[in-house]
Amino acid sequence: MTNTPFDTRSRHDIRHALLQHDEVALIDVREEAQYAAGHPLFAVNIPLSKLEIEVLNRLPRFAIPLTVYDNGEGLAQVAAQRLRKLGFTDVALLEKGLQGWRESGGELFIDVNSPSKAFGELVESRNHTPSLAAEDVNTLLHSGKPVVVLDSRRFDEYQTMSIPGGISVPGAELVLRVGDLAPSPQTTVIVNCAGRTRSIIGTQSLVNAGIRNPVYALRNGTIGWTLAGLQLEHGQARRYAQVSDSALQQAMRSARQIADLAGVKRTSLSQLKNWQQQNQHTVYLFDVRDAEEYATGHLPASRHVAGGQLVQETDHYASVRGARVALIDDNGVRANMSASWLAQMGWDVSVLEGVSQSDFTEKGGWTPIIPALPVQQEVEPALLAEWLTEDGTQVLDFTTSANYVNGHIPAAAWLQRSLLSQQGKKAVPEADRYVVTCGSSMLARYAVAELSELTDKPVMVLNGGNNAWKAAGLPLEQGETALLQVRNDRYRRPYEGVDVPPATMQAYLEWEYGLIAQLERDGTHGFSVLAQKTV
């Protein structure tokens, strides 16, 4: 690893690049909870602890101008060195880190997926997206009038908690499915999410598509429902069915018109290949159908991201602001609807056309690209279980803290890889040998070399990780039994789960209401919202 010093980039440099629509990759390498406490608008979170298993998929071009920062934790320099070793050729540090950004007048945004959430607030403000309070929706549901509630979140989120009678229809599916779910124009359509963004975008999608039904967002989503003292359902499984031909044809026409009005481009497979071969721009290729369709068959090198989640979490998937984005599906509806929103968010976005089912030659789920590692010594779960009956073996678990608490190998200690960089040998208990693990052991493998160097002791990988240990029927323990550091690997969303304090939910809503003012102060967003009822 080279010790060549890194250049720095200032907030002024980043701001100028954003305003010029140049490619910008501003990387916060702290843990998610720290990132969520404050970051620049277009900063993306790739923690040092997970850098290798995420970076090649989120930053797919080695010549991308990368700017890395922390808030004085000593992580940025280590991350920059690792990025350079991986092959990235234009790596710089943010001048004076996050503190320098703040001191130079930069705006800081809290929470996660801030660009998408701020954009949703702007959409509602500009288009006066229709909404109803929870009390009014509850009254409507008990009125006997025809009404359908469409939940625009991921299916697993819907299953955790949902509005009574609600149906899971993730965001990009709404325009495609609504014709069958509400065939009568007299049926009122309510779109909800957990908070605000996905219900606003989903409702406005239906408005833009010109559906004849009355359509409203559930104001403040399940948070608003809970704060109103109303009960949610749990564990539901209502989903949309196969789309009818008439609904499909109408949805295809509407989605295409909306995308054209938003400035969405059209591209072909040959043009896409030319972009990729020229390597002058970062190019993302996303398949925005549902996971089952993608697994049945998809275009090679395409990454599956359901369209609604792509709009909600754009920074997580397209982590280079200013990159080209190409979307694909099988009939154009979900790709065009998703692209229409990305275009309004300032992305150079195209829909891939002229693609047939015969081009979908890859099967199965998406497989991330990760850096190669040398052959490592492995241990099988049964042998590890024998070792643990004796002294001298320490298991180090690099899984998420939530997974660790839910169930881990007895006496295993939990930590993140970044702790090794910060504390060195002091980070881990003394032992004669170490066994590293995580869910599958994929992430843990990247700790082997560093841990071996720090301890000068044998380090082995649990073959198959915690999943293999569980599959072998070996014992587990639960709880925070051996945490080597604070659990800051994940920010607890105020809109997830069923035990969030009301004050926390209300504070989250207040933050969302203030996002438009933050956008104005920041001045780099580049958002342009279509007028209401465009089709």
Q: What share of the chain is helix, strand, coil (3-state, %, to 5)?
A: 40, 15, 40
- 398-438 pLDDT per residue, tens: 999 999 999 999 999 999 999 999 999 999 999 999 999 99
DSSP state of 461: E
Under 8 Å CB-to-CB from 46, ≥6 apart: which residues? 27, 28, 29, 54, 55, 58, 59, 319
How far is 446 from 254, CA to CA, in rounded Å?
48
Per the CB < 8 A criterion, the answer to whether 313 and 113 are in contact is yes
Least confident residue range of 4-8, 76-80, 152-156? 4-8
Q: Decide which of 460 and 5 is more confident.
A: 460
What integer pLDDT is reported at residue 498 of this predicted model? 75
What integer pLDDT is reported at residue 109 of this predicted model? 98
How far is 406 from 414, CA to CA, in rounded Å?
12
Across 318-334, average pLDDT: 97
Total domains in the chain come to 4
Structure tokens, 89: 């050729």
**Closest C-alpha among 316, 325, 317 to residue 346:** 325
Task: Specify if 383 maps to a domain.
Answer: yes
Task: Specify if 369 maps to a domain.
Answer: no
Task: Specify if 136 maps to a domain.
Answer: yes
Q: Residue type for 437, please?
A: T
Torsion, Cα of 321, 322, 323, 326 (10° steps): 100
493: burial class by Cβ within 10 Å (0-12, 13-18, 19+)? middle
Is residue 406 located within the same domain as residue 455?
A: yes
- Give percent of the chain with pLDDT exceeding 70: 99
Whether residue 534 has pLDDT greater than 60: no
- Helix ranges, 323-441 (H): 333-344, 381-387, 401-406, 417-423
Is residue 388 located within the same domain as residue 465?
A: yes
Task: Specify if 428 maps to a domain.
Answer: yes
Q: What band does 43 get if pLDDT is binned at 50, 70 and 90?
A: very high
Q: What band does 496 get if pLDDT is binned at 50, 70 and 90?
A: confident
Last-in-domain residue among 471, 492, 526: 471
Structure tokens, 128: 């006066």
Per the CB < 8 A criterion, the answer to whether 65 and 90 are in contact is yes
Across 6-32, average pLDDT: 98
Beta pairing partners, 328: 287
Distances (CA, A) of 369 to 59, 60, 164, 246: 11, 10, 41, 40
Under 8 Å CB-to-CB from 143, ≥6 apart: which residues? none
Distances (CA, A) of 274 to 202, 244, 493: 34, 36, 40
Kindly give the pairing relationship between strand 303-304 and strand 7-9: unpaired
Per the CB < 8 A criterion, the answer to whether 265 and 196 are in contact is no
Across 293-313, average pLDDT: 96
Is residue 52 located within the same domain as residue 124?
A: no
What's the mean pLDDT when you consider all of the chain? Answer: 96
**Closest C-alpha among 339, 321, 319 to residue 329:** 339
What integer pLDDT is reported at residue 1 of this predicted model? 44
Beta pairing partners, 8: 93
Q: Tell me the Ramachandran region of residue 263: left when phi exceeds 0, alpha when psi lies from -120 to 50, beta otherwise.
A: left
Is residue 154 located within the same domain as residue 192?
A: yes
DSSP state of 444: G
Structure tokens, 351: 């829909």
Is residue 28 located within the same domain as residue 57?
A: yes
How far is 61 from 81, CA to CA, in rounded Å?
17
Under 8 Å CB-to-CB from 336, ≥6 apart: which residues? 255, 256, 258, 259, 264, 351
Last-in-domain residue among 424, 451, 471: 471
2: burial class by Cβ within 10 Å (0-12, 13-18, 19+)? exposed
Is residue 123 located within the same domain as residue 229?
A: yes
Is residue 149 located within the same domain as residue 204?
A: yes
- Helix ranges, 182-234 (H): 197-208, 221-227
Scored b (16 or more CB within 10 A) or e, 367-377 reads: eeebeeeeebe
Is residue 193 located within the same domain as residue 265?
A: no
∠ CA 434-464-433, rounded to 5°? 10
Under 8 Å CB-to-CB from 473, ≥6 apart: which residues? none
Q: Which helix (H) or strand (E) holds 67?
A: strand 66-69
Angle between helices 174-181 and 245-262 (to 10 degrees): 140
Is residue 121 located within the same domain as residue 95?
A: no
Q: Residue type for 163, please?
A: I
Beta pairing partners, 413: 396
Task: Specify if 371 maps to a domain.
Answer: no
Per the CB < 8 A criterion, the answer to whether 201 and 229 are in contact is no
Is residue 203 located within the same domain as residue 287?
A: no
Is residue 234 located within the same domain as residue 269?
A: no
What integer pLDDT is reported at residue 531 of this predicted model? 82
- 255-299 pLDDT per residue, tens: 999 999 999 999 999 999 999 999 899 999 999 999 999 999 999
Task: Specify if 526 maps to a domain.
Answer: no
Q: What band does 3 get if pLDDT is binned at 50, 70 and 90?
A: low
Task: Specify if 323 maps to a domain.
Answer: yes
Per the CB < 8 A criterion, the answer to whether 392 and 431 are in contact is yes
Q: By residue range, what is the domain housing residue 93?
A: 7-110
Q: What band does 4 get if pLDDT is binned at 50, 70 and 90?
A: confident
Q: Residue type for 220, please?
A: N
Per the CB < 8 A criterion, the answer to whether 133 and 273 are in contact is no
DSSP state of 498: S
- 352-384 pLDDT per residue, tens: 999 999 999 999 999 999 999 999 999 999 999
Q: What would you measure as the largest C-alpha separation in the chain, in angstroms?
A: 72
Last-in-domain residue among 110, 144, 176: 110
Is residue 340 located within the same domain as residue 402?
A: no
Supply the CATH number for residue 279's domain.
3.40.250.10
How far is 110 from 114, CA to CA, in rounded Å?
7
- Give percent of the chain with pLDDT exceeding 90: 96
Distances (CA, A) of 264 to 255, 292, 354: 11, 26, 16
Whether residue 196 has pLDDT greater than 90: yes
Strand locations in 111-203, DSSP E?
131-132, 147-151, 167-168, 188-192
Whether residue 2 has pLDDT greater than 60: no
Task: Specify if 492 maps to a domain.
Answer: no
